[in-house]
Structures are given as C-alpha cells and as structure tokens.
Amino acid sequence: MVVSPSPISERNIGDWLRLPPAGLQLLIETLAENHRVVGPQVADGAVVYRDLRGIAELPVGWLDEQDGGRYRLHQDPTAGFFDHVVGPHSLKNFLFPARETVASFVRTDGEWVQQTHAPEDRPLAVIGVRACDMAALRIQDKVFLGSGHVDPGYQARRQRLFTVAVNCRRAAATCFCHSMACGPAVEPGFDLALTERDGWFACQIGSPAGHALIQRLATADAGIVSCTVEEVDAAKQVSIDLEASMHARQPEAGAPRPRSLDTHGIRDLLYAQMEHPRWEEVATRCLSCTNCTLVCPTCFCSSVTEVADLSGDHVERERHWASCFTLDHARMHGGSVRSSTASRYRQWVTHKLAGWIDQFDSSGCTGCGRCITWCPVGIDLTEEVAALRHSDPP
C-alpha cells in the first residue's frame, strides 16, 4: 500500500522536508523579506559570511584545506554548496560585533544627556551554521544572557536570530568537534537544519519560527515535499558516518595531522600544570598576535573606549573586542599581572578549557579548530594540552 505523505503545510517541528535548490533559493528570498540574510561566500581567499542574495553566491564547488597556520581553497567539481567547513567568521561576528557603539552622550545647556541605541532594524538570518558554531552560540548565551548580567545588544540580536544550520559532510584536519561533544551533528536549537544530499537538501524543522517559514514556502510551487522515512534515515546517517570517521582518523604521511583532544579530567590536569616548562616553550613561538582569540567563536572579552568630538559636547562610548594576549588586558595599578607571553598563553588555555567549566559549567571550546588554522605560527592547543598531559608536573 502506498501512503501519500501529508502536505508540507501540515508538517511540524521535528519533521523533515525534501528541498531542491530552487526551494533553498525561495527560502533565502522569503527570509530576506524581513531579515538581513548572511551566508558563506568565497571572498578574500576564504569562505566568509557575507550578505547573501541567493544560492548562486554560495561556495558551491569549493573545498578548504586547513592545518596549523594554513588555510587554502581549491575548486572541486564534486563539492556541493556546503562541503567547505568553518572559515574565520562565526555567529560571534554578528551577535557580539568586533566594534560597537554602546552609548553616546550629548552636552546640552551644561547637562550631559545619554542617547539610547536601538538594535538594528532588521533581524538577522544566518545560512550554513555548523554544529560547532551552534554549540558556541549556546556557550555565548551563558556568557551574555545567563551569568547574572544581560548584555542588551546581544540579547536584542539573539532573540530575533534565525538560524539555518548545516550538518557537515566532511571535516578539516583541524576540526575536533567530536572530542568536545559539539558535533558533527547539529543539536536542537536551530530553526531549520539542512543535510546536503545529491542535488537536494534534507531540511529538518527545528523551531516555531522555522515552522512558520516552511508554512509560507508551502504556498509556493518550489518543489518542496516531505521526506520519506528512508530519506530521513539516510540524512541522519551522514553525521553518524562523519563522526565515526573522525574518531577513526589516523595520521597519514604528507597529510595534515587530524586533531582530537582528550578531555578526560582536563580541568584538574591544567590546574596542576601551572608551572610546567611547556608554557615557556610555547612562548618562544607565540607572537601574542591575538588571532586565536579573535577567531574563536566563544571568546568574549571586550574593552570600552570613549571618544569625544572636537567640541567636547559629544562623546561616543565604543565597545571593541579585547584579547587576553595583550599586556593591557591584565593591567592593574602598578602594571600588568601577566607580563610574559607564557603567562598569557597559559591564561587563555586554562580559562578556555578549565576556568570556563567553573564559571559556566561547560568548556569554552567547541573544537572548531579556528585558533589552529588562523594562528600565524600554527600553535595548536590540542598539541599543547597533549604535551601537558603526557609529562609529569614539575
């Protein structure tokens, strides 16, 4: 007996749809009616998030090669729309922008008056968010919304965020989301999630907002139909197979070393190694350039600068990203409490992988691998932690 699937207008949260490329195009266009839509695109030699008008701008046919201090793109006719993995941008670039005016003040008749800053008019929709970056979103939510202080700008942008997540079909050598329990399958929290198949996408509905969008698409003739049970199972198998292959990866001659991180007892391990000579050794290579903290999707440090115009009657208060790799980050009266590169690298790694657990009840690392790829000298925190783990405390 053949059972006709119910119309997509009757699909619910958790259900899967078969989306042809024309359906993804329609999805982007429909989102753009009331969102700023961004998605991955090839620009400046990398896959970065840019404003997205349609599927023609997606990096179809491009693959990335990543290793310590190395990122290269090459074309591959077998690569789909989303077979690249993460580039230097993440959701952090939009929800917690690198530079933002948080307040301004005007002096009128000798009185200072604060001007309020409304959030951007258009809510944001991001296409192509990977599992590690959805995990980073959950971590940043704890920082900006759940730690006793609510950041109003982050909150305003986060509440209206629409995410179209993507389940990865391949991993870079620098990816270790499987070690951090952050991927490669996207966890619930997305609005829609895509798994790319041969010439179409399996699309899972994840939220009321995702469901409402699908309802709108249902009225158009975009070839969107319900997935069969077999299609759903095959789509789920993509992440299962990728995770198994990531666990089984072995170094190969001439190929970048696949990364993993042993997280067993990592908090206590790092706290016990505060005086280990490895920190001084890595400091001989580290440039204190701050790249690792800037590309990290969870790093949240910021600093505030107030700038007055020449009249002295108008002041802008600007918040900008800061980094624990700078001397100023730990400056107190009398000087910096972390004056050496070794102490700053140690601060970053022990906060990310140990102190964060005390502060936020989760690791600060999702295994996205960006800090490895974008470190100009290829310093690799998986390698550094392994070195600390496999040597005795001094």
Q: By CB under 6 A, name the binding residues for ligand SF4.
A: 286-292, 295-298, 325, 352, 365-371, 375-377, 379, 381
CB proximity list for 316: less than 8 A, separation 6 or greater: 101, 103, 104, 306, 307
Provide, rounded to whole angstroms, the least separation between the CB of residue 261 and ligand SF4: 9
When the beta carbons of 272 and 289 are compared against ligand SF4, the nearer one is 289
Provide, rounded to whole angstroms, the least separation between the CB of residue 286 and ligand SF4: 3
Provide, rounded to whole angstroms, the least separation between the CB of residue 311 and ligand SF4: 39
Provide, rounded to whole angstroms, the least separation between the CB of residue 287 and ligand SF4: 4
When the beta carbons of 25 and 263 are compared against ligand SF4, the nearer one is 263
H/E element holding 315? strand 314-321
Largest CA distance in the chain: 82
Task: For residue 174, give both structure tokens.
Answer: 């620098």
Q: Taking the chain, what is the end-to-end CA distance rounded to the nearest angstrom?
A: 71
When the beta carbons of 126 and 292 are compared against ligand SF4, the nearer one is 292
When the beta carbons of 164 and 365 are compared against ligand SF4, the nearer one is 365
Q: Could you give the angle at which helices 208-218 and 21-32 cross, rounded to 10 degrees?
A: 110
Whether the CB-CB separation of 128 and 80 falls below 8 Å is answered with no
Q: Say if residue 184 is preceded by a cis peptide, omega within 30 of 0.
A: yes
CB proximity list for 45: less than 8 A, separation 6 or greater: 71, 73
SS3 for 8? helix
Q: What angle do CA 373, 90, 376 make, to 5 degrees?
A: 20
When the beta carbons of 87 and 297 are compared against ligand SF4, the nearer one is 297
When the beta carbons of 210 and 367 are compared against ligand SF4, the nearer one is 367
Task: Centre a 10 Å sphere on the Cβ of residue 60 and count the other Cβ atoms it contains.
Answer: 17
Provide, rounded to whole angstroms, the least separation between the CB of residue 91 and ligand SF4: 12
Task: For residue 205, give both structure tokens.
Answer: 């509905």
CB proximity list for 370: less than 8 A, separation 6 or greater: 86, 88, 90, 174, 292, 295, 296, 297
Provide, rounded to whole angstroms, the least separation between the CB of residue 350 and ligand SF4: 12
When the beta carbons of 165 and 224 are compared against ligand SF4, the nearer one is 165
Could you tell me the CA-to-CA distances from 50 to 94, 210, 255, 366 in Å, in that order? Answer: 11, 22, 31, 23
Provide, rounded to whole angstroms, the least separation between the CB of residue 244 and ligand SF4: 21
When the beta carbons of 287 and 301 are compared against ligand SF4, the nearer one is 287
CB proximity list for 212: less than 8 A, separation 6 or greater: none
When the beta carbons of 174 and 239 are compared against ligand SF4, the nearer one is 174
Provide, rounded to whole angstroms, the least separation between the CB of residue 360 and ligand SF4: 13
Provide, rounded to whole angstroms, the least separation between the CB of residue 263 and ligand SF4: 11
The span from the CA of 294 to the CA of 98, in Å, is 9
